[in-house]
Amino acid sequence: MIKQINEAVEYIQAIYATAPQVGIVLGSGLGSFTAEMKVEAAIDYADIPHFPVSTVKGHSGKLIFGELGGKKVVAMAGRFHYYEGYSPEEVVFPIRVMKFLGITTILISNAAGGMNAGFAVGDLMAINDHISFFAVNPLIGENSEKLGPRFPDMSEPYSKALIAKAKTIAAAANITLREGVYCGVTGPTFETRAEYKFLHIAGGDAVGMSTVQEVITAVHMGVTVFAMSVITDLGIREEENKITHEEVLQAAKEAEPKLTLIFKELIAGL
């Protein structure tokens, strides 16, 4: 794995030599975020050695380098999911590459189903913890101390300091920012009514098919994490509970300006 990471890093650095400080992972329907960046380079995933390729609508499949909030950043416009058939190691490979490129902080976004009765479609939720029993841990297998410890501590996977800063930014911009626990599942099916109920009883406020494996990997490598869900549908509701991917993408698109503002201000304050 170290050899593959180094080969990917060498290819990228031959095109863009500046070390980024912040990594950004953009979820379903949130790819337009990069319009806020001063883009300096864009590399197709397909061109990077050992990189997977996005197969899901709403994920463009480029690694974008540039400047945002006065900081050098690298953004993943499109991520990888376990349900696409990739192994957990492949899903998190870009996170490891970004760390080797130089990032010390990562901002992660996703589209998620709301399970908290107080949430509405379009709400933003800062993730303060997660439940990952339903996602395969990407650290299973032989551990390399060059990447991180065998048993990384997960008592604070999401930075409390960055959550506090995000709340301040949101309040100043008159944006409602929820806070809660994210449940990571494999997908690709949306959850059944019973599954939504079970996950909510277990302590989850939102549920999605990404993020958890990426966060575990970032923490393993000593990267500070902030993550935010866009609540694109409601799993706990009385009426017909039919959800389409198109509805998820539309809700994410409408909420994107609010997420972009918070991410941009967070980066500026790092």
> What's the CA gap between 92 and 80, in Å, rounded?
8
Length of the chain: 270
Distances (CA, A) of 119 to 23, 81, 86, 133, 253: 28, 25, 32, 24, 18
**CB atoms near residue 13 (< 10 Å):** 14
264: tokens are: 């941009």
Strand-pairing partners, residue 125, are 178, 229
What domain range includes position 46?
2-268
Burial tier of 195 (Cβ tally within 10 Å: 0-12, 13-18, 19+):
middle
Total number of domains in the chain: 1
| Nearest Cα residue to 221 out of 149, 167, 269 | 149
Position 58 scores a pLDDT of 52
- Give the model's pLDDT for residue 237: 59
Within a 10 A sphere around the Cβ of 183, how many other Cβ atoms? 27
The pLDDT profile of the chain, 270 residues, written as one tens digit per residue, is 999 999 999 999 999 999 999 999 987 666 677 888 999 999 999 999 999 886 666 556 889 999 999 999 999 988 899 999 999 999 999 999 999 999 999 999 998 999 998 998 889 999 999 999 888 999 999 999 999 999 999 999 999 999 999 999 999 999 999 999 999 999 999 888 889 999 999 999 999 999 999 999 999 999 999 999 999 888 765 566 566 667 667 777 778 889 999 999 999 999
Give the domain CATH number at 74: 3.40.50.1580
Q: Which two tokens stand for residue 63?
A: 């690694």
Q: 25 burial class (0-12, 13-18, 19+ CB within 10 angstroms)?
A: buried
